[in-house]
């Protein structure tokens, strides 16, 4: 099957394939690692990604972490928080301490055992995203013996495990002795971890070579060598895949993805992460702006033909959630599905005083996503909203967006970690980095939820907040974007879609080549 | 005061300006390239009449239709449709206008800045020369595409800004060549006479120097036209060119390049052919002009 | 003479200073690296922490001073993106760029010189036109397009050459040709004009009068002299090629300086952009300085004029 069948829901497919992958492969009866899989990356690999301590709040580093390192607990097939290096944990009734028991006999690549002391060291050494919050709230780490430890907090923090296990790199373990011996620089040049693959060599911006770590606790990887190559141009990645130079090509979009479905032997793999896209009406608080009229904003949403755009640009794999909040976030509220209704859009525009449409000004977007802007603008024209596309080079776009220099309509996007509250803080609530204006009732709801300790009540407030965002048409959501990759004919299990919400192939120890599993 | 011979007659034989009426009869006159350029210019002027569709509106329902002679193509869209379902032929026709306008005005901007600064620096010498030459050195040491990306980031992309950016990136070549010309003109009899006669610097530069460097400027312009158009396409490849959905050949090529591997060859081959024909013609014309007007010009 | 050289060196240093200042400001005015190293919507606290880590919380003049100081000590600081010394990155890429530029230069001369000679000797003949057209074609097509067509034909359809990457001679062929073809026209033009000039000179007329065979006159006497300016230009272009191969390097995933710079620009990796531009600029300024001094040595009038 080249494409997942459109019939069952995505979750259904995922659940099934995850179970199959786990069921088919018995942990013991496996041959020694053999063969090589070459992965073409769309972004240049940075050595910081080899070090969990540096994990910034983006998903890309996890592409490397899943290979080289292992975490106390992490997202695994079928489980968003599967016990890995930690075999079990308990939370004290006051919510102030977490006791962990480590898995026995787990080794780092250099042969040393993973101990509770390494866990303490890794948490204390962590300096990536949200490091300050972690430092402030974690009081201390008590190491009882080699396998048991307790993390104590200053204040009850219900989200602690989420932060520790998935949103940051603090729960990914590095060997204290080794790191202190070779110093930080040495560790970055030749990292040692407890993951399924050992570091062999790295050439910045060119390639990373890894080799199977046969002593990996879960099971020895099936593939001997894993090579990550950097191929910046999308078309070149596809060509390399067609030629069999590489086995997996990350990020293949639009018509190139079409070709994947047509070429025998190649297949499309799509994963929906937490990156939502939307139109932001930056001038809606200006009474003189046409966007001040809610009917105009609603009409814009109605004009967008989400389904067709989804089909054309991401082969229908993106999720049309009609929200700027990702559906996989905590406290997510599902708004009604988006509607494409040009007739009603025209009617709304006429009611708002634009019977013949209007010259609607600039439409700003990140140039790397100008392809979305182009088709959206085309949709808007059909109902009479005539806009000019202004694609800005990525760096310049985010600078201008954050400095509130972009006027009129902005095509925004975010794949930041967090929950509904953090997303609202950055994009909806007064004072946020990308907020041009706000509504008092939403701001009040935000303050209220931040002080609420009862989870159910907090959820209710956040649901109301999201409903307000939806009702006021602050944004016209586009989609939660699918990340599409191509897989070559040699690959058996590609690893895509095994872990829900993870765009890259993982876990690496599950990858197989055909006829070798 | 009026003893000076008009510079036109003085220099005419010196630079062997051919009589315009005899242009087409001259040996090696690039007739085909000139016809091509004239044709493109006519298409650009009459784009509104010629184009069958609005070049900026499409429908995703009819994207990637092949040209009419291929299976699945139709006479409705002679050269097929692109990734948004827009008519490729109409976009090519309007694209001629964008390319002509961007190409010519960018060359004019570059030529204007460069010629002006070149004359000032060459004629005035001293600190003016120093400032211009240091500026030129610095400019040339900056990689052109990087420079263009930064400029685009500062001013934002629009057709006008792309023109300014290309002009700002490429004026240095003019400045250098023109300055060299002016330095040698300064030694010539008629300029010296003008100085002796007490003409103001402005008059000399405007009346005596400028007409004599125009030839070089024209030759450079025809040669630069190609460079500018190809650079504009490259900027589109890097995502900072003329913004879509504007029909520009460079943008069409960059947008369509993905289709090349997928079998949608017409998306990039068609605009590619147009750019190639235009640039090649401009270059052939430029080469010929250079030999005719200014055989001494070697730095090009 | 000594004074002239000293003054020229002074000018070059001034240009270098202007260049460093320009790039320092450009890269900062146009984007914030932290916005690109985190997701939009990252917490304010994380953004500030990164700013501190990169020293971006300090006043501009302090940052500039650090940059100049690091340049003088030959250090160049750490890349924001890779978090490794910029100089290491630069020297990892430089051999690739040199190799690409050298082979591209050879190819461009192989195309440019013969077609230039033909254009000078056999004006308006078939081979003249064909050669000229072929050389000019390289200038008339955007490099990304030429590159993709080559990949399509030689990698995908014929399967003869690897589509991208580096390592073997086969990897080198397509990028080098794409880059070299673009420069061929310039070398063709210069060969032709310089050849025409030499052919019109007295000693060639003399050689002809002596009844030497035309092939010998052109192949030996004329060519030797006509190629001097071409080789000079080739030298300059070699330096230029190292620094402008961005597009070729992106299409073919060739790990050279051009791509290092381009990625530095897209991620606003200040230290990388500054280092690549200043080192590349120094090369170009140095070449220009050497040429100026050489010309002054050959032609004393230049010294007097300026």
Q: What does the pLDDT look like over A323-349, one tens digit per residue? A: 999 998 889 999 999 999 999 999 999
Residue in the block written with tokens 């047509």:
A262
The pLDDT of residue C217 is 78
Radius of gyration (C-alpha) of chain A in whole angstroms: 24
Are A188 and C46 inside 8 Å of each other by CB? Answer: no
Q: Which range, A268-272, B203-207, C215-219, is most confident?
A: A268-272
Residue A388: list chain B partners with CB under 8 A: 243
Average confidence (pLDDT) over B255-282 = 87
What is the number of other CB atoms lying within 10 angstroms of the CB of residue C110?
Answer: 13
Distance CA B169, CA B139 (A): 8
The pLDDT of residue A12 is 31
Residue A188: list chain C partners with CB under 8 A: 83-84
> Quick check: bond before A507 cis, omega within 30?
yes
Q: Which range, A79-83, A391-395, A488-492, B192-196, is most confident?
A: A488-492
- Token digits of residue A252: 């293949």
Residue in the block written with tokens 């048991």:
A148
Q: Which of these, B132, B169, B290, lies nearest to B221 by C-alpha position? A: B290
- Token digits of residue A360: 């609607």
Distance CA A23, CA C288 (A): 69
Residue A235: list chain B partners with CB under 8 A: 257-258, 260-261
3-state secondary structure chain C: CHHHHHHHHHHHHHHHHHHHHHHHHHHHHCCCHHHHHCCCCCCHHHHHHHHHHHCCCCCHHHHHHHHHHHHHCCCCCECCCCCCEHHHHHHHHHHHHHHHHHHHHHHHHHHHHHHHHHHHHCCCCHHHHHHHHHHHHHHHCCHHHHHHHHHHHHHHHCCCCCCCCCCCHHHHHHHHHHHHHHHHHHHHHHHHHHHHHHHCCHHHHHHHHCCCCHHHHHHHHHHHHHHHHHHHHHHHHHHHHHHHCHHHHHHCCCCCHHHHHHHHHHCCCHHHHHHHHHHHHHHHHHHHHHHHHHHHHHCHHHHHHC
C interface mutation test: which of B33, B123, B143, B149 has the most C CBs within 10 A? Answer: B143
Are A399 and C31 inside 8 Å of each other by CB? Answer: yes
Maximum C-alpha span of chain C:
85
Residue C26: list chain B partners with CB under 8 A: 147, 150, 154
Q: Which of these, A325, A424, A413, A334, lies nearest to A373 by C-alpha position? A: A413
The pLDDT of residue B27 is 61
Contact A192, A181 (CB under 8 A): no
Q: Out of C152, C164, C250, whose CB is closest to A240?
A: C164
Contact A373, A363 (CB under 8 A): yes
Instruction: Report angle CA A60, B254, C136 to the nearest 5 degrees.
Output: 130
**Chain C residue whose CA is closest to B187:** C305
Distance CA B67, CA B80 (A): 4
Are C194 and B298 inside 8 Å of each other by CB? Answer: yes
- What is the band of A417 on the pLDDT scale with cuts at 50, 70, 90? confident
Sheet order of strands, A207-212 included? A197-203, A207-212, A223-230, A34-41, A248-249, A475-487, A267-281, A409-414, A358-366, A385-392
Roughly what angle, to the nearest 10 degrees, separates helices C126-140 and B266-293? 120
What is the number of other CB atoms lying within 10 angstroms of the CB of residue B117?
Answer: 24
Residue C193: list chain B partners with CB under 8 A: 295, 298
A interface mutation test: which of C41, C81, C247 has the most A CBs within 10 A? Answer: C41
Are B149 and C265 inside 8 Å of each other by CB? Answer: yes
A interface mutation test: which of C30, C39, C51, C168 has the most A CBs within 10 A? Answer: C39
- What is the band of B13 on the pLDDT scale with cuts at 50, 70, 90? very low
Q: Out of C32, C41, C43, whose CB is closest to A130?
A: C43
Q: CB-based contact (8 Å) between B266 and chain A?
A: no
Radius of gyration (C-alpha) of chain C in whole angstroms: 24
Are B227 and C196 inside 8 Å of each other by CB? Answer: no
- Chains touching chain A through at least 3 C-beta pairs below 8 angstroms are B, C
pLDDT(A69) > 80: yes
Q: Out of B142, B147, B257, whose CB is closest to C144?
A: B257
Q: CB-based contact (8 Å) between C247 and chain A?
A: no
The pLDDT of residue B184 is 82
Q: CB-based contact (8 Å) between B16 and chain C?
A: no
3-state secondary structure of A340: coil
CA distance, residue C154 to nearest chain A CA (Å)? 11
CA distance, residue B39 to nearest chain C CA (Å)? 18
Average confidence (pLDDT) over C224-247 = 81
3-state secondary structure of B223: helix
- Chains touching chain C through at least 3 C-beta pairs below 8 angstroms are A, B
Q: Out of C31, C156, C263, whose CB is closest to A205?
A: C263
pLDDT(C250) > 80: yes
Q: Out of A44, A130, A235, whose CB is closest to C263?
A: A44
pLDDT: which is higher, A308 or B186 = A308
Q: For C138-179, write each residue's pLDDT tens digit.
A: 888 888 888 888 888 888 888 888 877 777 888 888 999 999
Distance CA C222, CA A8 (A): 78
Q: B29-52 in b/e burial notation, b at 16+ Cβ within 10 A?
A: ebeebbebbeebeebbeebeeebe
What is the number of other CB atoms lying within 10 angstroms of the CB of residue B135?
Answer: 17
The pLDDT of residue B4 is 35
Distance CA A423, CA A278 (A): 13
pLDDT(B16) > 50: no
**Chain C residue whose CA is closest to A243:** C156
The pLDDT of residue A516 is 57
Q: CB-based contact (8 Å) between B257 and chain A?
A: yes
Contact A210, A492 (CB under 8 A): no
Q: For A312-328, write each residue's pLDDT tens digit.
A: 889 999 999 999 999 98
Q: CB-based contact (8 Å) between B58 and chain A?
A: yes
Average confidence (pLDDT) over C256-260 = 89
Residue A356 phi, psi dihedral angles, 5° rounding: -105, 25
Distance CA C13, CA C282 (A): 9
Quote the percentage of chain B above a pLDDT of 70.
Answer: 88
Which residues belong to CATH 1.10.3720.10 in chain C? 102-266
Q: Out of C82, C155, C252, whose CB is closest to A47?
A: C82
Within 124-183 of B, beta carbons closer than 8 Å to C belong to 129-130, 133-135, 137-138, 140-147, 149-150, 153-154, 183
Are A203 and C40 inside 8 Å of each other by CB? Answer: no
The mean predicted confidence, pLDDT, of chain C is 83
The pLDDT of residue A17 is 35
Q: Out of B56, B60, B260, whose CB is closest to A312?
A: B60
Q: Which of A62-66, A144-148, A384-388, B198-202 has the lowest mean pLDDT?
A: B198-202
Q: Out of B137, B154, B261, whose CB is closest to C288?
A: B137
Are A390 and B245 inside 8 Å of each other by CB? Answer: no
Q: Which of these, C263, C275, C249, C272, lies nearest to C100 by C-alpha position? A: C249
Contact A215, A103 (CB under 8 A): no
Looking at CATH, the fold of the domain delimited by C102-266 is given as MetI-like fold (1.10.3720)
pLDDT(B131) > 90: no
Reported as type and span, the H/E element at residue A115 is none
Chain pair A-C, CB pairs under 8 angstroms: 158
Contact A33, A214 (CB under 8 A): yes
Q: For A207-256, write each residue's pLDDT tens digit.
A: 899 999 999 999 999 999 999 999 888 888 998 998 889 999 999 988 88
Are A231 and C156 inside 8 Å of each other by CB? Answer: no
3-state secondary structure of B1: coil
Distance CA A99, CA A143 (A): 10
Q: Which of A134-138, A437-441, C42-46 has the lowest mean pLDDT?
A: C42-46
Q: Which of A23-37, A90-104, A304-318, B186-200 has the lowest mean pLDDT?
A: A23-37
Q: How many CA within 13 A on the CB side of residue A453?
A: 4
C interface mutation test: which of A53, A128, A395, A429 has the most C CBs within 10 A? Answer: A395
Distance CA A373, CA B25 (A): 52
Are B261 and C185 inside 8 Å of each other by CB? Answer: no
Distance CA A50, CA A189 (A): 9
Are A392 and B153 inside 8 Å of each other by CB? Answer: yes
pLDDT: which is higher, A259 or A216 = A216
Distance CA C249, CA C216 (A): 41
Contact A206, A230 (CB under 8 A): yes
Distance CA B143, CA C245 (A): 10
- Chains touching chain B through at least 3 C-beta pairs below 8 angstroms are A, C
CA distance, residue B50 to nearest chain C CA (Å)? 26
Are C140 and B140 inside 8 Å of each other by CB? Answer: no
Q: Which range, A270-274, B116-120, C220-224, is most confident?
A: B116-120
Helices (H) and strands (E) in chain A, counts: 16, 16
Q: How many CA within 13 A on the CB side of residue A295?
A: 13
Distance CA A262, CA B242 (A): 32
CATH 3.40.50.2020 fits B30-55+71-293, yes or no: no
**Chain C residue whose CA is closest to A420:** C41
CA distance, residue C70 to nearest chain A CA (Å)? 19
| Residue A285, strand partner residues | none
- What is the band of C125 on the pLDDT scale with cuts at 50, 70, 90? low
**Chain B residue whose CA is closest to A369:** B239
Q: Could you give the ipTM of this predicted complex?
A: 0.81
Average confidence (pLDDT) over B11-19 = 38
Within 67-106 of C, beta carbons closer than 8 Å to A belong to 81-84, 89, 92-93
pLDDT: which is higher, C285 or A341 = A341
The pLDDT of residue A188 is 82
The pLDDT of residue A15 is 32
Q: CB-based contact (8 Å) between B261 and chain C?
A: yes
pLDDT(A67) > 90: yes
Q: For C109-119, write each residue's pLDDT tens digit.
A: 998 888 888 88
pLDDT(A142) > 50: yes
**What predicted TM-score, i.e. pTM, was given to this entire model?**
0.82
Q: For C206-220, write each residue's pLDDT tens digit.
A: 877 887 777 777 777
Contacts of C279 (CB under 8 A, 6+ apart): C90
> Residue A280 region, left (φ>0) first, then alpha (ψ -120 to 50), else beta?
beta
First to last CA, chain A: 19
Average confidence (pLDDT) over C74-100 = 88
Sheet order of strands, A97-102 included? A86-91, A97-102, A148-153, A138-143
Residue C229: list chain B partners with CB under 8 A: 298
Q: Out of A133, A245, A402, whose CB is closest to C163?
A: A245
Distance CA A192, CA A180 (A): 12
Q: How many CA within 13 A on the CB side of residue A404?
A: 12
Q: Out of C26, C145, C305, whose CB is closest to B268?
A: C145
């Amino acid at each position: 099957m080249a494409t997942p069948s459109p019939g069952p829901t995505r979750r259904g497919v995922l659940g099934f394939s995850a179970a199959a992958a786990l069921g088919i492969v018995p942990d013991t009866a496996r041959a020694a690692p053999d063969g090589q899989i070459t992965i073409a990356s769309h972004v240049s690999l940075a050595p910081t990604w080899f070090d969990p301590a540096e994990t910034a709040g983006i998903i890309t580093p996890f592409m490397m972490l899943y290979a080289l390192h292992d975490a106390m607990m992490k997202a695994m097939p079928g489980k968003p928080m599967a016990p890995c290096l930690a075999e079990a944990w308990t939370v004290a009734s006051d919510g102030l301490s977490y006791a962990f028991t480590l898995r026995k006999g787990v080794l780092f690549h250099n042969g040393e055992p993973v101990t509770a002391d390494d866990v303490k060291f890794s948490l204390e050494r962590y300096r990536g995203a949200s490091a300050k919050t972690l430092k402030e709230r974690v009081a201390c780490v008590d190491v009882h013996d080699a396998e048991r430890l307790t993390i104590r907090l200053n204040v009850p923090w219900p989200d602690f495990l989420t932060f520790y296990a998935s949103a940051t790199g603090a729960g990914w373990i590095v060997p204290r002795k080794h790191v202190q011996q070779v110093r930080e620089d040495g560790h970055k040049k030749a990292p040692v971890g407890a993951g399924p693959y050992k570091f062999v060599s790295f050439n910045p911006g060119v390639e990373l070579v890894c080799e199977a770590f046969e002593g990996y606790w879960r099971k020895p990887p099936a593939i001997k060598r894993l090579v990550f190559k950097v191929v910046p141009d999308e078309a070149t990645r596809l060509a390399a895949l067609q030629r069999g130079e590489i086995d997996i090509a990350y990020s293949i979009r639009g018509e190139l993805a079409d070709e994947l479905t047509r070429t025998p032997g190649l297949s499309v793999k799509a994963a929906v992460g937490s990156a939502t896209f939307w139109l932001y009406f930056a001038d809606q608080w200006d009474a003189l702006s046409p966007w001040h009229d809610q009917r105009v904003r609603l009409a814009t949403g109605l004009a967008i033909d989400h389904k067709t755009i989804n089909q054309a640009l991401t082969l229908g794999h993106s999720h049309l959630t009609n929200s700027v909040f990702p559906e996989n976030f905590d406290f997510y509220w599902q708004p009604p599905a988006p509607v494409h209704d040009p007739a009603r859009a025209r009617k709304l525009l006429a009611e708002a005083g634009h019977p013949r449409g209007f010259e609607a000004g600039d439409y700003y977007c990140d140039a790397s996503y100008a392809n979305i802007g182009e088709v959206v603008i085309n949709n808007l024209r059909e109902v009479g909203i005539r806009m000019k596309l202004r694609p800005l080079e990525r760096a310049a776009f985010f600078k201008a967006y954050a400095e509130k220099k972009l006027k009129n309509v902005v095509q925004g996007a975010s794949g930041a970690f967090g929950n509904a509250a953090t997303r609202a803080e950055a994009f909806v609530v007064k004072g946020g980095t990308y907020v041009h204006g706000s509504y008092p009732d939403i701001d009040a709801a935000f303050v209220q939820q931040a002080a609420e300790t009862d989870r159910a009540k907090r959820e209710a407030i956040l649901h109301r907040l999201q409903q307000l965002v939806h009702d006021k048409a602050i944004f016209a959501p586009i989609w939660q974007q699918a990340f599409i990759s191509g897989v070559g004919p040699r690959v058996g299990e590609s690893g895509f879609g095994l872990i829900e919400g993870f765009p890259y192939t993982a876990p690496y120890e599950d990858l197989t080549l055909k006829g070798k599993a | 005061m009026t003893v000076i011979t008009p510079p036109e007659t003085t220099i005419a034989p010196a630079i062997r300006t051919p009589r315009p009426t005899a242009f087409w009869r001259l040996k090696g006159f690039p007739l085909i390239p000139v016809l091509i350029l004239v044709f493109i210019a006519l298409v650009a002027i009459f784009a509104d009449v010629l184009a069958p569709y609005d070049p900026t509106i499409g429908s995703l329902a009819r994207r990637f239709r092949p040209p009419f002679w291929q299976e699945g193509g139709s006479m409705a869209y002679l050269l097929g449709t692109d990734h948004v379902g827009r008519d490729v032929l109409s976009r090519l026709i309007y694209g001629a206008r964008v390319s002509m306008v961007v190409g010519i005005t960018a060359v004019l901007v570059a030529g204007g800045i460069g010629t002006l600064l070149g004359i000032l620096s060459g004629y005035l010498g001293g600190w003016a020369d120093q400032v211009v030459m240091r500026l030129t050195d610095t400019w040339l040491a900056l990689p052109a595409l990087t420079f263009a990306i930064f400029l685009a980031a500062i001013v934002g992309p629009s057709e006008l800004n792309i023109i300014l950016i290309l002009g700002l990136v490429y004026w240095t070549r003019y400045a250098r060549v023109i300055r060299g010309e002016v330095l040698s003109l300064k030694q010539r009899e008629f300029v010296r006479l003008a100085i002796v006669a007490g003409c103001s610097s402005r008059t000399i530069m405007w009346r005596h120097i400028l007409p004599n460097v125009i030839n070089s400027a024209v030759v450079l312009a025809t040669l630069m036209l190609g460079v500018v158009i190809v650079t504009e396409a490259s900027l589109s490849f890097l995502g900072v060119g003329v913004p879509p959905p504007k029909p520009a050949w460079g943008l069409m090529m960059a947008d369509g390049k993905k289709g090349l591997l997928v079998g949608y060859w017409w998306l990039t081959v068609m605009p590619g052919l147009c750019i190639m024909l235009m640039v090649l013609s401009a270059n052939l014309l430029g080469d010929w002009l250079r030999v005719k007007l200014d055989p001494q010009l070697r730095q090009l | 003479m000594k004074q002239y050289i000293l003054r020229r060196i002074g000018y070059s240093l001034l240009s270098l200073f202007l260049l460093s200042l320009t790039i320092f400001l450009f890269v900062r005015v146009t984007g914030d690296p932290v916005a690109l190293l985190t997701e939009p919507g990252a917490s304010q606290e994380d953004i500030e922490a990164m700013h501190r880590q990169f020293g971006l919380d300090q006043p501009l003049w302090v940052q500039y001073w650090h940059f100049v100081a690091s340049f003088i000590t030959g250090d160049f600081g750490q890349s924001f993106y890779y978090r490794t010394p910029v100089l290491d990155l630069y020297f990892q890429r430089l051999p690739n760029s040199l190799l690409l530029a050298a082979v591209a230069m050879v190819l461009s001369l192989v195309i440019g010189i013969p077609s230039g000679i033909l254009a000078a000797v056999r004006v308006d003949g078939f081979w003249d036109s064909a050669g000229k057209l072929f050389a000019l074609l390289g200038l008339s097509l955007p490099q990304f397009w030429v590159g993709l067509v080559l990949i399509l034909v030689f990698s995908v359809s014929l399967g003869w050459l690897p589509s991208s990457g580096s390592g073997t001679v086969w990897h080198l062929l397509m990028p080098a040709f794409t880059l070299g073809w673009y420069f061929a026209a310039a070398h063709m033009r210069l060969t032709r004009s310089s050849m025409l000039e030499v052919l019109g000179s007295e000693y060639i007329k003399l050689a002809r009068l002596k009844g030497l065979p035309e092939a010998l006159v052109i192949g030996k006497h004329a060519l030797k002299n006509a190629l001097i300016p071409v080789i000079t230009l080739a030298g300059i272009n070699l330096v230029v090629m190292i620094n402008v191969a961005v597009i070729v390097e992106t299409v073919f995933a060739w790990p050279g300086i051009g791509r290092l710079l381009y990625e530095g620009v897209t991620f606003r990796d200040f230290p990388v952009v500054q280092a690549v531009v200043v080192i590349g600029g120094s090369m170009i300024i140095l070449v220009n300085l050497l040429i100026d001094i050489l010309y002054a040595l050959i032609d004393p009038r230049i010294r007097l004029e300026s």
